[in-house]
Amino acid sequence: MRIIGIDPGTYRTGYGIIDSIRGENFLVECGCLESRAEHTSARYFSIYEQLVSVIKQFQPQCCSIESTFYYKNQKVVMRLGEVRGVLILSAVQAGCDVYEYSPLEVKQSVVGYGRADKDQVRKMVKALLSLRSLQKESDVSDALALALCHAHNKNSIRYQLTKGAKV
């Protein structure tokens, strides 16, 4: 199964694509979708187009995305929610099933400890995918961790194109 993990961000969204075959996971591609457009709508549209292009090129069957979590700044929460909506729509339109995982679930699945820090997540992603190196940006390692999390547990909220309802 080919899985794309997505770590949402308003200016920089990490993505990581893995193939999960009989319990073994292999890196396919990873990177960041970036937009510095001045207007929010232009930024969202740029992220949408970039993700559609990545999905078209690599053809994942499912998408694992980080769920919304608490921030003190409500404006940040709203912006991330908007970006998540764009990302979920992009994946569903491309025919991917979309699954959500909380940061705690991802860390628990990948590191074995729900309060792991970013460096611990990065090191475990690197080890689990047998990589010699991995970009320092946490956006990429977090996205790969999301993909690995889904490869490990496939029981989360799922969105499907059929009537856009949760299944």
Q: Catalytic positions, please?
A: 7, 66, 139
- Rg over alpha carbons for the chain, rounded to the nearest Å, is 15
Please give the sequence-ordered ranges of beta strands (E in DSSP) within 37-161, or none if there are none: 62-66, 97-101, 157-159
Torsional sign, CA 18, 148, 21, 136: positive
Instruction: Name the amino acid, one letter, at 39.
Output: H
Q: Which residues contact 148 (CB under 8 A, 6 or more apart)?
A: 5, 18, 25, 109, 110, 125, 128, 129
Tokens coding 18: 């893995």
How far apart (Å, rounded) are the C-alpha atoms in residues 133 and 130?
Answer: 9
Cα 161 vs. chain centroid, distance in angstroms?
18
Closest C-alpha to 4, from 115, 80, 132, 90? 90
